[in-house]
Structure 1
Amino acid sequence: GMVNNAVFEAIGYENVSGFAFGMGIERLAMLTCQINDLRSFFETDLRVLESF
């Protein structure tokens, strides 16, 4: 997402804009474990949890 200008101003940069992005650990796990739905990590379905 877009970086707030206050972040840049706090470290001495003025009149700049920025864009931040990244890949979280959940996305890496989805790729390596072939998980199709990100919500699987946050649900309490024991079938999903027991598969790890």
Structure 2
Amino acid sequence: MLSSCQEGTCGTCETPVLEGDVDHRDSLLTPAEQATNDTMFICVSRAACPRLVLEL
């Protein structure tokens, strides 16, 4: 996956989430967007559940 900043600020590594909960550590998504768990920035965010399925 592409990434540029590796800090969760540029948006290059945005990846759709198909299943699971995300521990959002980026500074791009609003709290409402984070709550939907539809997307994540994989350079900084992590799984907040045992299984996280991404669209790669």
TMscore range, shorter length:
under 0.3
Normalised by the length of structure 2, the TM-score is: 0.22
Normalised by the length of structure 1, the TM-score is: 0.23
Higher RCO (CA-CA < 8 Å; seq separation 6+): 2
